[in-house]
């Protein structure tokens, strides 16, 4: 990644806008920040693209339909275009993992793992979320080959196949409903004896003839060769263990927001919901003025590329207005 050019960031020389995380939210924010003529620096700990790099075919992003009958762009190609677009508008990128963010008067200071400090007038947190893993044998091995964490993304690959869904909350019930429109052989397993999901949703699942619900059941192992072929289960009450045929296992054991950078600094005034997601107003501004959040890390009902990109655009637009106000423009 290029080092920052227009203005070397440092303690005495703050950038206008610091964006932490180069997933779809951060990359879109970088483009909009650049277009607003801000001095933008994006910090990314891995590679630009975030979770989008894992998307085989990004077929649900509006307009990404492929040219002349070709297939829509992959998540990797899409993210690469987002990055180039942001760079074309002047955003700079730097490799680095942010450990903490502090605000002193009107200046934010981000401390990086390698000991560097970057200062900025405004910050957008676009650090995303990670799916909670079950940590059972076969989960990692068959990820992308039958094991999935996103029904809207991967469900269409398993039309009329035998699909297991793991979980008992809103996401598991919602996604089981979605999958039941693609296959009449959906088995929803939950380790407890009732769902945690909202009542109306849980009732819809219980009445759905395409979903078989198995309570008091947990997965022990996912098996297969090239792809998933079976799942080993345990009845949590009787302790009986058995194996069932399976073509896919969709896991919805919750997600974990990547908020380490803000919680590490003891920024207790940054409000989060009960699951740790950052709460913002409609401008994507957190409870700390000048600190914005966008994408999967934000408390939002739907986590998708299109949502992350939209929120990134709003965050950058509103951050530009905030920066103007503190510069007295």
Nearer to ligand FAD, 65 or 326 (CB): 65
- How many other C-beta atoms are found inside a 10 Å radius of the C-beta of residue 37? 11
Nearer to ligand FAD, 46 or 237 (CB): 46
Q: From residue 161, how far is each of 186, 243, 249, 269 by CA, in Å?
A: 8, 17, 11, 48
Angle, alpha carbons 13-15-18 (nearest 5°): 140
**Phi and psi at residue 128, to the nearest 5°:** 70, -165
Identify any residues that bridge with 244 across adjacent strands, giving them in sequence order: 231
One of 6, 45, 85, 256 touching ligand FAD (CB under 6 A): 45
**Residue 9 touches ligand FAD, criterion: CB under 6 A:** no
**Residue 22 touches ligand FAD, criterion: CB under 6 A:** yes
CB of 256 to ligand FAD, least distance (A): 11
CB of 51 to ligand FAD, least distance (A): 3
State the catalytic residues: 150, 153-154
**Residue 103 touches ligand FAD, criterion: CB under 6 A:** no
Nearer to ligand FAD, 172 or 305 (CB): 305
Residue 2: Cβ-neighbour burial (10 angstroms; 0-12, 13-18, 19+): exposed
Site for ligand FAD in 173-212 (CB under 6 A): none
Residue 207: Cβ-neighbour burial (10 angstroms; 0-12, 13-18, 19+): exposed
Number of residues located near ligand FAD, criterion CB under 6 A? 36
The CA distance from 224 to 101, in Å, is: 44
Q: From residue 221, how far is each of 48, 131, 314 by CA, in Å?
A: 33, 18, 43
**Residue 261 touches ligand FAD, criterion: CB under 6 A:** yes
Q: CB–CB of 189/218 below 8 Å?
A: yes
The CA distance from 199 to 215, in Å, is: 16
CB of 72 to ligand FAD, least distance (A): 10
Site for ligand FAD in 131-170 (CB under 6 A): 149-150, 153
Per CB under 6 A, the segment of 38-46, 181-189, 198-206, 218-226 that binds ligand FAD is 38-46
DSSP 247: S
One of 121, 228, 305, 320 touching ligand FAD (CB under 6 A): 305
**Residue 73 touches ligand FAD, criterion: CB under 6 A:** no
Binding site residues, ligand FAD, CB under 6 A: 20-26, 43-46, 50-52, 54-55, 58, 60, 97-98, 126-128, 149-150, 153, 258, 260-261, 295-296, 303-306, 308
């Amino acid at each position: 990644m290029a080092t920052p050019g227009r203005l070397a960031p440092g303690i005495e020389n703050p950038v206008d806008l610091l964006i932490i995380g180069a997933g779809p939210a951060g990359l879109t924010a970088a483009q909009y920040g650049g277009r607003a003529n801000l001095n933008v620096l994006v910090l990314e700990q891995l590679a630009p693209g975030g979770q989008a790099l894992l998307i085989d075919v990004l077929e649900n992003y509006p307009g990404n339909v492929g040219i002349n009958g070709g297939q829509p762009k992959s998540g990797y190609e899409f993210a690469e275009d987002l990055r180039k677009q942001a760079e074309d508008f002047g955003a700079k990128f730097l490799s680095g993992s942010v450990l903490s963010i502090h605000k002193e008067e009107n200046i934010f200071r981000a401390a990086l793992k390698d000991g560097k400090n970057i200062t900025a007038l405004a910050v957008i947190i676009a650090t995303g979320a990670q799916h909670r893993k079950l940590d059972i044998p076969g989960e990692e091995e068959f990820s992308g080959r039958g094991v999935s964490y996103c029904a809207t993304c991967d469900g269409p690959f398993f039309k009329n196949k035998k699909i297991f869904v793991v979980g008992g909350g809103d996401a598991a019930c919602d996604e089981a409903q979605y999958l039941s429109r693609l296959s009449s052989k959906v088995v929803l397993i939950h380790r407890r004896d009732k769902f945690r999901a909202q009542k109306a949703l849980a009732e819809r699942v219980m009445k759905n003839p395409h979903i078989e619900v198995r309570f008091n059941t947990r997965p022990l192992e996912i098996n297969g060769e090239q792809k998933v072929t079976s799942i080993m289960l345990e009845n949590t009450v009787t302790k009986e263990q058995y194996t069932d045929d399976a073509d896919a296992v969709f896991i919805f054991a919750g997600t974990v927001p990547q908020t380490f950078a803000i919680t590490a600094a003891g920024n207790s005034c940054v409000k989060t919901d009960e699951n740790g997601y950052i709460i913002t107003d409609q401008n994507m501004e957190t409870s700390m003025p000048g600190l914005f959040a966008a994408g999967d890390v934000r408390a939002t009902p739907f986590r998708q590329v299109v949502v992350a990109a939209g929120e990134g655009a709003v965050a950058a637009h509103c951050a530009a207005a905030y920066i103007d106000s503190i510069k007295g423009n």
